[in-house]
Amino acid sequence: MREGGGSPSRGPRGRLVTFEGGEGAGKSTQLALLAENLRKRGIDIVETREPGGSPGAEAIREILLDPENKGWPPMTEALLHFAARCDHMNRVVEPALAAGKWVLCDRFTDSTMAYQGVAQGLGSSVIEQLSALTLKGRKPDLTIVLDLDPEIGMKRLAERGGKPTRYDLMDIAFHRRLREAFLMIVRSDPARCVVVDATYSEDFVAEMVSGAVIDRLELDLAS
Instruction: Convert the pLDDT of each residue in 38-81 to its tens digit.
Output: 999 899 999 999 999 999 999 999 999 999 998 899 999 999 99
Amino acid 3: pLDDT:
37
Q: What percent of the chain has pLDDT over 90?
A: 84
CA distance 66 to 63: 6
Domains parsed from the chain with CATH numbers: 18-217 (3.40.50.300)
> Which residue from 50, 48, 126, 135 is spatially nearest to 84, judged by alpha carbons?
50
Quick check: 89 pLDDT over 90?
Answer: yes
Specify whether the CB–CB gap between 37 and 210 falls below 8 A: yes
